[in-house]
């Protein structure tokens, strides 16, 4: 079938957007046909969310054109996009927390009956419309948000990670409902990190990388390879091989662990986590989204108190009431979210020197000379470009992340907790960070590294523990920690089980096939490739 | 703070359930009402002669502050704050007093309508400045409090002016039963006629929405900037009503702003409106104003230095907010 | 504001907009001093011969008072707070001294007043830092409490009409050779402490840090409640010092003496470039801001405009300056 541009429901070309120094989109394009479920793919920071926001009018693009049913449009606000038939369901539900569900429906002028219909369809039957949104669990809110969007039957429905944080039974229902949209004259733009879902419900996929559209792929059997290839682009290659480090493990054993966790638990997310972190070791933590790793790091960093279990630093038990306690015990924390870690309006120097002045006896006059030496050394070690250093917010993302690490390097590292430190930064900086973590370990520090990119494990770690459902389910030596092995473990599958992609794929395929009856083509396409979650 | 949330029509729910649900939502208002009742009984006990004149006096004396509190509540509910309410009241008060002095009774009606429009305009100016300049609302309204107070002084340098006769009569005395003060009826009528329709409309939902979560409201299709301006405009209307009620109760115009701005913030907080926006109603603040005034009255009856009433006002304000945030801190830890 | 607008218009011809914005953003003192200079020139033009040593003395005497109070606002605003209790604390302090002057002597009064102020600041700090009450509400509530207690004190103690001690009067209202006000003896050390404290001490860094990003400060080990309790005590002590000078300046001891200076003190800090959202600003700008406001008042009164015009203009200046800052320092 040949398509002229007027056959397209939605077409965006050459979209660009810059936030200060950060280029979110360089030249993104997207063409959606009527009746298709179109996947929007890309690694973290590729620009998916920005493109989505531009299409719904939440953000104005710097350049590019958007055409809806062949007519060029400028969308100024979500309200306008909604009237034009474009509706988005975001990762954070757009329900007003202090209004009840009925008022939320009135606010978006959503008819109640279709809403109820879709709600039932999506697996929630007994919703009290007068319950306050704040009191409704997150998973239900996302379903409500989705039902509300579907109830007004938009031409283009955009779903951003709709299945994240949903329990399995609701995920089934959602995928089935999305799948049924195929073949009509309306379309769905589907963003997900889960390949199996893409394979199950999508017709085509547009792949973004570093703010550009790098390819459009028909989703068929085997197309996942191509998608992954496009998403990753140039693969990190010239990194120190893992094999040459395996012998280092020997020097660690026998000494007191830097950090020992014994049966740590926290409310519902974290059930029982135990591990030892040896000096001179980079210990990887691998987990799918939301398996308790956030809580684990919060506990280790002193932001949250565990409900059970024991924590030992250098063999002696500790308990933290405040991050300051953890820091004093030598546990320093590098967050993934730079907005959480940096003083955006202050200088690089002040950001790096921040931990030097936090204790009351450090409140007096600052020894500028010695502070300067420590900061300069850290800046040099991390190769931070300080040309725009008078305000950290003017630095690039990679440089900002380096500042958050330099803050701790400047004071000397005993044990470093890194929570996905390479999220959304460029490959060169990533490499520098891996090397730095190795250096720290060589110098005797212990490093705990959670990473959402499974590849990083072999590049930076000595061994890895895998957390699933709040428990450590596997410990893998770096030599065996290739992606398939990690993924298998992350899904909590036995080592001798079939390849995880097959199992996971089959699981979803069954679900989709069951939900769609015999009409769906989902089962055919439901083969997933091992791609890291987030 | 136990918040009272938007009461929404619950036509589908069974009456008993609806009653229970609405009681839950209005828990804070009910608590205030209960406290007020206790306070009234207490007043009667310590001052057996407290009766019709006392209630009349109470109603008239709370009227300006009650309207100011409603005005403040509207902007706070929509996630803002206005520190110029007292100055707006002074400006409206002196404009009304100077224009009505020596004029006919009928002209007085036109003046009142005119100053209400003026209030709308003043509020709209505040809101527009906040939205256009993107300067924090505290700063803009603080600055505008200078501007409006200065304007009031320009209109009338020293207290003076006059009022049409019907205006004081509108709020003094009683209506039908001697226990029903006209001032209270006026307050209820004004709030019922202006706020309740707004509250039930889409605009009302939008006001709560932008106060509750601005991003979610934007994504739900609410025009945040326009709604903020409207909330300030509505605030201006109530501030003007408060200013007119000053003219009505004093019969003259006074160019110096009273303590109404700060007291209105206090009343809003005591009235169960979350300063973060989105939670609460305008009725809680009205009850809070009455309670604060009654406490003051009781202290004079008890022969306690009235200055302790100011101390108590401050302590109540701090205490309520502290307990509120303590509850919140506990909740976030659990 | 007309000064700023015309200045930017004149410079735009040979400076790019971006450069002008960078100047305003990185060196806000330059445009502020420029504005001050323009105002001085306008004063001279409006009333030829008025600008002279004595005029400077008059301006300084008034500006010093405002600058100290504005110091409270600068420090608290850097952390994202505000201190509306400075009026009540300052008035209380001046009044307490006056009430002691006839009996136990004014030095006792000063000690009592400072202790009372410190207690008030401590309570405020606990409320803001530990109970996390919004500073606006907390300081507002405290000002009710302080005002009430001061009133009670007023009724308990007999204050003679000549309550304000002579030493305060000369400190607040007299000047060496009618040019250099004696109040500089108080102000210079105070200002030096604030300036150095903000730039060169660990505590100063932390004020900026918790104002810029409380989460980052916490994750770096800063305990914000300690910082905030100390901050509000410092602010209350500064307010008390300002109250002493006010009572000397006006020769009045009243429990509401300083109230009318609260809003101008916020205005001075805002004009000086301190952001109410925290993390940005400094005391140098605030001092210039206080001078600008004082010169504007003096200019207006020398031209015979009533107080009312001054107020309107003050308000307009604050909005315009704050809008200009927002424009040049905004993210996008």
Interface contact C315-B322, CB threshold 8 A:
no
Q: pLDDT by residue (tens digit) across C95-108?
A: 998 888 877 788 89
Question: Which residues of chain A lie closer than 8 angstroms to B213, CB-CB?
Answer: 96-98
Q: What is the mean pLDDT of residues A460-482?
A: 86
Interface contact B219-A78, CB threshold 8 A:
yes
Q: How far is CA A8 from CA A51, A156, A187, A205, B319, in A?
A: 18, 11, 10, 15, 62
Q: Is any Cβ of chain B less than 8 angstroms from the Cβ of C229?
A: no
Question: Which residues of chain B lie closer than 8 angstroms to A130, CB-CB?
Answer: 8, 10, 12-13, 21
List phi, psi (to 5°) of C157: -105, 145
Q: Give the per-residue pLDDT at A238.
A: 46
List phi, psi (to 5°) of A418: -110, 115
Model confidence band, residue A516 (pLDDT cutoffs 50, 70, 90) = very low
Q: Give the per-residue pLDDT at A253.
A: 54
Rounded CA-CA distance B261/A347 in Å is: 39
Whether residues A190 and A256 fall in one domain: no
Kind plus residue range of the DSSP H or E element containing B127? helix B105-133
Q: Give the per-residue pLDDT at B47.
A: 86
Q: pLDDT by residue (tens digit) across A246-255?
A: 444 444 456 7
Q: Output the domain CATH number for residue A270.
A: 3.40.50.300
Q: Give the per-residue pLDDT at B77.
A: 94
Helices (DSSP H) in chain C: which residue ranges?
A: 2-12, 17-26, 29-46, 53-78, 86-101, 106-129, 135-156, 166-173, 184-200, 202-212, 214-219, 224-250, 262-271, 283-302, 307-329
Sheet with A156-160, strands from edge to edge, namely A71-73, A63-68, A10-19, A22-32, A212-218, A204-209, A37-41, A187-191, A156-160, A86-89
Question: Which residues of chain A lie closer than 8 angstroms to C274, CB-CB?
Answer: none
Q: Which chains touch A (3 or more CB pairs under 8 A)?
A: B, C
Question: Which residues of chain C lie closer than 8 angstroms to B299, CB-CB?
Answer: none
In chain B, count of helices (H) and strands (E)? 15, 2
Interface contact B143-C147, CB threshold 8 A:
no
- Residue whose C-alpha is closest to residue C127's, from B329, B273, B319, B272: B319
- Whether A381 is covered by a domain: the verdict is yes
Tokens of residue A425, six digits:
């930064």
- If one counts every other C-beta atom within 10 angstroms of the C-beta of residue B15, the result is 8
**In CATH, what class is B29-333?**
mainly alpha
Whether residues A128 and A272 fall in one domain: no
DSSP label of A47: S
Rounded CA-CA distance B166/B275 in Å is: 38
Kind plus residue range of the DSSP H or E element containing A169? helix A168-180
Least confident range of A3-17, A139-153, B320-334: B320-334
Whether residues A231 and A257 fall in one domain: no
Calculate how close chain B gets to C331, using CA atoms only, in Å. 12
CATH numbers and ranges of domains, chain C: 33-41+50-329 (1.10.3470)
Q: Say how many CB pairs under 8 Å bridge A and C.
A: 95
Exposure string (b/e) for B196-215, b if CB count within 10 Å is 16 or more?
A: eeebeeebbbbbbbbbbbbe
CA A517 to chain centre: 33
Whether residues A141 and A290 fall in one domain: no
Domain count, chain A: 2
Q: Is any Cβ of chain B less than 8 angstroms from the Cβ of C155?
A: yes
Q: Is any Cβ of chain B less than 8 angstroms from the Cβ of C92?
A: no
Nearest Cβ partner of B216 from A96, A100, A106? A96
Nearest Cβ partner of A100 from B8, B215, B217? B8
- Residue whose C-alpha is closest to residue A464's, from A476, A448, A452: A476
- Whether A531 is covered by a domain: the verdict is no
Interface contact A343-C212, CB threshold 8 A:
yes
Interface contact C212-A345, CB threshold 8 A:
yes
A12-21, A160-169, B100-109, range with greatest mean pLDDT: B100-109
Interface contact B314-C145, CB threshold 8 A:
yes
Q: Is the pLDDT of residue C123 over 90?
A: yes
Nearest Cβ partner of B318 from C141, C307, C308? C141
Contact residues of B toward A, CB < 8 A: 3, 5-6, 8-10, 12-13, 21, 202, 205-206, 208-209, 211-213, 215-223, 278-279
Calculate how close chain A gets to B119, using CA atoms only, in Å. 28
Share of chain C above pLDDT 90, in %: 48
The DSSP bridge pattern shows strands A316-318 and A187-191 to be: unpaired
Question: Which residues of chain A lie closer than 8 angstroms to C209, CB-CB?
Answer: 343, 346, 350, 354
Interface contact A323-C200, CB threshold 8 A:
no
Rounded CA-CA distance B246/B251 in Å is: 8
Q: Is any Cβ of chain C less than 8 angstroms from the Cβ of B138?
A: yes
DSSP label of C79: T
* Average pLDDT of the residues of chain A: 80
Q: Is any Cβ of chain B less than 8 angstroms from the Cβ of C134?
A: yes
List phi, psi (to 5°) of B23: -65, -40
List all residues 6 or more positions away from B329 whose beta carbon is below 8 Å from its beta carbon: C131, C132
- Please tell me which residue, A116 or A6, carries the higher pLDDT value: A116
Interface contact C312-B150, CB threshold 8 A:
yes
- Residue A279 domain boundaries: 252-490
Q: pLDDT by residue (tens digit) across A287-343?
A: 876 778 888 999 999 988 888 889 999 989 999 999 999 999 999 999 888 888 999
Whether residues A265 and A192 fall in one domain: no
Question: Is the ipTM reported for this complex over the cut 0.95?
Answer: no
HSE value, Cβ hemisphere, 13 Å, CA-based, for A510 = 7
Model confidence band, residue B10 (pLDDT cutoffs 50, 70, 90) = very low
Is residue C295 within 8 Å of C286, Cβ to Cβ?
no
Q: pLDDT by residue (tens digit) across B16-58?
A: 676 776 777 778 889 999 999 999 999 989 888 888 888 888 9
- Whether A521 is covered by a domain: the verdict is no
Domain residue extents for chain B? 29-333
Model confidence band, residue C174 (pLDDT cutoffs 50, 70, 90) = confident
Conformational region of residue A465, where left means phi above 0, alpha means psi within -120 to 50, and beta covers everything else: beta
Q: Is any Cβ of chain A less than 8 angstroms from the Cβ of C225?
A: no
Q: Is the pLDDT of residue C19 over 90?
A: no
Q: Is the pLDDT of residue A509 over 80?
A: no
Q: Which candidate in A58, A59, A337, A345 is best for mutational testing of the C interface (most C CBs within 10 A)?
A: A345
Whether residues A197 and A328 fall in one domain: no
Interface contact C148-B313, CB threshold 8 A:
yes
Whether residues A303 and A372 fall in one domain: yes
Rounded CA-CA distance B287/B283 in Å is: 6
- Residue whose C-alpha is closest to residue A425's, from A382, A477, A462: A382
Q: How far is CA B74 from CA A220, A423, B218, B231, B282, in A?
A: 56, 42, 19, 6, 7
Q: Is the pLDDT of residue C178 over 60?
A: yes
Q: Give the per-residue pLDDT at A243.
A: 42
Coil, helix or strand at residue A152: coil
List the end-to-end C-alpha distance of chain A, in Å, as a whole number.
35
Q: Give the per-residue pLDDT at C262.
A: 87
- Whether A457 is covered by a domain: the verdict is yes
Q: Give the per-residue pLDDT at A221.
A: 76
Interface contact C216-A354, CB threshold 8 A:
yes
Coil, helix or strand at residue B230: helix
Calculate how close chain B gets to C165, using CA atoms only, in Å. 26
Q: Give the per-residue pLDDT at C12.
A: 45
Furthest C-alpha separation in chain C: 66
Interface contact B136-C276, CB threshold 8 A:
yes
Q: Is the pLDDT of residue A525 over 60?
A: no
Q: Is any Cβ of chain A less than 8 angstroms from the Cβ of C116?
A: no
Q: What is the mean pLDDT of residues A126-133?
A: 86
Q: Give the per-residue pLDDT at B290.
A: 94
Q: What is the dihedral of CA C47, C51, C55, C57, to 10 degrees?
A: 170
Whether residues A206 and A258 fall in one domain: no
């Amino acid at each position: 079938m040949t398509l002229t541009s007027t056959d397209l429901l939605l077409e965006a070309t050459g979209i660009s957007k810059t936030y200060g120094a950060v280029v979110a989109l360089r030249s993104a394009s997207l063409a959606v046909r009527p009746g298709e479920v179109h996947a929007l793919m890309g690694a973290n920071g590729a620009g998916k969310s920005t493109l989505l926001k531009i299409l719904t009018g939440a953000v104005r693009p710097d350049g590019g054109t958007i055409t809806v049913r062949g007519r060029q449009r400028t969308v100024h606000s979500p309200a306008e996009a909604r009237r034009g038939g474009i509706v988005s369901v975001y990762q954070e539900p757009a329900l007003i927390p202090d209004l009840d569900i009925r008022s939320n429906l009135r606010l978006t002028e959503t008819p109640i009956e279709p809403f109820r219909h879709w709600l039932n369809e999506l697996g929630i039957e007994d919703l009290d419309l007068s319950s306050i949104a704040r009191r409704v669990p997150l998973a239900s809110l996302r379903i409500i948000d989705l039902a509300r969007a579907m109830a007004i039957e938009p031409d283009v429905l955009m779903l951003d990670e709709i299945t994240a944080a949903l329990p399995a039974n609701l995920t089934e229902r959602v995928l089935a409902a999305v799948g049924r949209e195929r073949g009509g004259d309306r379309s769905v733009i589907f963003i997900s990190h889960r390949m199996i879902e893409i394979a199950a419900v999508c017709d085509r996929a547009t792949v973004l990388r570093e703010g550009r559209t790098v390819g459009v792929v028909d989703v068929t059997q085997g197309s996942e390879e191509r998608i992954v290839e496009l998403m990753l682009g140039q693969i990190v290659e010239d990194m120190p091989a893992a094999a040459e480090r395996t012998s280092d493990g020997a020097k660690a054993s026998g000494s007191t662990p830097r950090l020992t966790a014994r049966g740590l638990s926290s409310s519902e997310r974290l059930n029982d986590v135990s591990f030892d972190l040896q000096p001179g070791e980079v210990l990887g933590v691998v987990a799918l989204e939301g398996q308790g790793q956030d809580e684990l790091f919060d506990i280790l960093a002193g932001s949250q108190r565990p409900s059970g279990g024991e924590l030992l630093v250098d063999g002696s038990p500790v308990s933290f009431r405040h991050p300051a306690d953890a820091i004093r015990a030598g546990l320093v924390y590098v967050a993934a979210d730079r907005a959480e870690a940096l003083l955006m309006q202050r200088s690089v120097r002040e950001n790096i020197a921040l931990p030097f002045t936090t204790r009351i006896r450090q409140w007096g006059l600052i020894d500028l000379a010695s502070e300067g030496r420590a900061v300069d050394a850290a800046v040099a070690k991390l190769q931070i470009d300080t040309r725009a250093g008078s305000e950290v917010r003017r630095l690039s993302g990679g440089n900002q992340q380096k500042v958050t690490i330099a803050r701790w390097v400047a004071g000397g590292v005993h044990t470093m907790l890194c929570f996905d430190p390479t999220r959304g930064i460029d490959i060169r900086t990533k490499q520098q960070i891996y090397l730095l973590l190795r250096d720290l370990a060589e110098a005797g520090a212990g490093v705990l590294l959670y990473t959402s990119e499974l590849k990083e494990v072999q590049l930076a770690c000595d061994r890895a523990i895998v957390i699933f459902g709040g428990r450590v389910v596997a410990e893998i030596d770096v030599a065996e920690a290739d992606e398939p092995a990690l993924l298998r473990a992350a899904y909590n599958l036995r080592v001798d089980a079939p390849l995880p992609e097959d199992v996971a794929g089959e699981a979803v395929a069954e679900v989709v096939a069951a939900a769609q009856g015999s009409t769906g083509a989902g089962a055919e396409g439901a083969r997933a490739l091992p791609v890291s979650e987030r | 703070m136990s918040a009272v949330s938007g009461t929404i029509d619950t036509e589908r729910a069974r009456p008993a359930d609806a009653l229970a649900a609405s009681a839950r939502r209005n828990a804070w208002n009910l608590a205030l009402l209960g406290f007020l009742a206790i306070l009234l009984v207490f007043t009667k006990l310590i001052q057996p002669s407290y009766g019709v004149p006392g209630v009349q006096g109470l109603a008239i004396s709370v009227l300006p502050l009650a309207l100011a509190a409603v005005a403040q509540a509207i902007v706070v509910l929509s996630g803002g704050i206005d520190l110029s309410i007292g100055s707006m009241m002074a400006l409206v008060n002196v404009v009304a007093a100077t224009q009505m002095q020596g004029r006919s009774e009928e002209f007085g009606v036109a003046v009142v309508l005119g100053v209400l429009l003026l209030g709308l305009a003043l509020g709209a100016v505040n809101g527009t400045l906040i939205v256009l300049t993107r300067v924090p609302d505290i700063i803009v309204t603080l600055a505008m409090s200078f501007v409006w107070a200065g304007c009031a002084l320009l209109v009338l340098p020293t207290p003076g002016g006059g009022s049409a006769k019907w205006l004081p009569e509108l709020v003094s005395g009683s209506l039908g039963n001697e226990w029903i003060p006209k001032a209270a009826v006026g307050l209820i009528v004004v709030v019922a006629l202006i706020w309740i329709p707004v509250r039930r409309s889409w605009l009302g939902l939008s006001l709560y929405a932008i106060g509750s979560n601005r991003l979610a409201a934007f994504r739900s299709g609410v025009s945040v900037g326009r709604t903020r301006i409207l909330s300030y405009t509505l605030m201006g209307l109530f501030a003007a009503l408060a200013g007119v009620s000053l003219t009505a109760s004093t019969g003259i115009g006074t160019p110096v702003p009273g303590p109404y701005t700060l007291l209105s913030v206090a009343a809003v907080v005591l009235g169960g409106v979350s300063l973060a926006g989105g939670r609460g109603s305008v009725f809680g603040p009205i009850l809070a104003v009455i309670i604060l005034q009654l406490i003051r009255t009781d202290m004079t009856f008890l022969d306690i230095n009235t200055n302790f009433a100011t101390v108590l006002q401050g302590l109540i304000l701090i205490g309520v907010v502290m307990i509120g945030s303590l509850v919140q801190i506990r909740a976030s830890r659990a | 504001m007309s000064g700023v607008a015309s200045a930017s218009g004149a410079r735009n011809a040979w400076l790019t907009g971006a450069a002008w914005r960078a100047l305003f953003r990185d060196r806000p003192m330059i445009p502020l001093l420029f504005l001050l200079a323009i105002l001085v020139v306008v004063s001279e033009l409006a009333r030829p011969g008025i600008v002279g040593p004595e005029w400077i003395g008059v301006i300084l005497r008034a500006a010093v008072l405002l600058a100290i109070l504005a110091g409270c606002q600068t420090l608290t605003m850097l952390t994202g707070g505000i201190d509306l209790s400075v009026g009540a604390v300052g008035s209380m302090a001046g009044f307490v001294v006056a009430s002691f002057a006839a009996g136990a002597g004014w030095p006792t009064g000063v000690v009592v007043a400072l202790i009372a102020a410190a207690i008030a600041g401590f309570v405020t700090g606990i409320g803001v830092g530990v109970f996390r009450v919004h500073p606006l509400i907390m300081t507002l509530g405290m000002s009710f409490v302080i005002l009430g207690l001061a009133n009670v004190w007023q009724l308990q103690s007999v204050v003679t009409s000549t309550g304000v001690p002579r030493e305060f009067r000369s400190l607040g209202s007299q000047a060496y050779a009618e040019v250099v006000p004696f109040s500089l003896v108080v102000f210079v050390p105070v200002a030096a402490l604030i300036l150095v404290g903000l730039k060169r001490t660990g505590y100063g860094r932390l004020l900026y840090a918790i104002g810029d990003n409380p989460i980052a400060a916490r994750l770096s080990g800063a305990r914000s409640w300690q910082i905030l309790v100390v901050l509000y005590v410092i602010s209350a002590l500064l307010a008390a010092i300002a109250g002493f000078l006010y009572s000397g300046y006006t020769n009045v001891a009243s429990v509401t003496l300083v109230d009318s200076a609260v809003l101008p003190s916020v205005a001075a800090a805002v004009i000086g470039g301190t952001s109410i959202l925290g993390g940005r600003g400094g005391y140098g700008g605030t001092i210039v801001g206080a001078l600008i406001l004082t010169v504007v008042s003096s200019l207006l009164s020398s031209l015979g405009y009533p107080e009312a015009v001054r107020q309107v203009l003050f308000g307009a200046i604050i909005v315009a300056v704050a809008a200009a800052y927002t424009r040049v320092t905004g993210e996008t």
